Amino acid sequence: MFDIVSRFDAGQYYELMKKDLFPRRVDACTAIYTLLSIMEKGEGKTVGYGQNFQPDTQSLVSYGSMVFYETEVIK
C-alpha cells in the first residue's frame, strides 16, 4: 500500500481498496484516496511504520507515516 501511495497512483489504490483494504477494515482509506485525487502529481516517502499486537483480542494494528511532496508539472 505504501508503494502505491508513494507513486500517487490513485487508480491502483482504488483497486487495492476494493479488493483488500475495505474487507480488512483498514482505517483512513477514503482520506488517502482523496489526497491522491487532489494532489495528482507528487511523491511520497515512508518515514515510519510499526505494528501493535493485542494478545487479549489476538488482533494486530499496523500504522505508518508518510511525507508528501507536490512535484512541479512541466508543460
Left if phi > 0, otherwise alpha if psi is -120 to 50, otherwise beta: which for 21?
A: alpha
pLDDT value, residue 8: 87
pLDDT value, residue 72: 65
Per the listing, cell 482520506 goes with: 31
Q: Tell me the three state secondary structure of residue 22.
A: coil
pLDDT tens for 11-54 read 998 999 999 988 888 878 889 889 888 887 788 899 999 999 99
Report which of residues 56 and 29 the model is more confident about. 56
Q: Tell me the three state secondary structure of residue 42.
A: coil
pLDDT value, residue 26: 80
pTM for the structure as a whole: 0.72
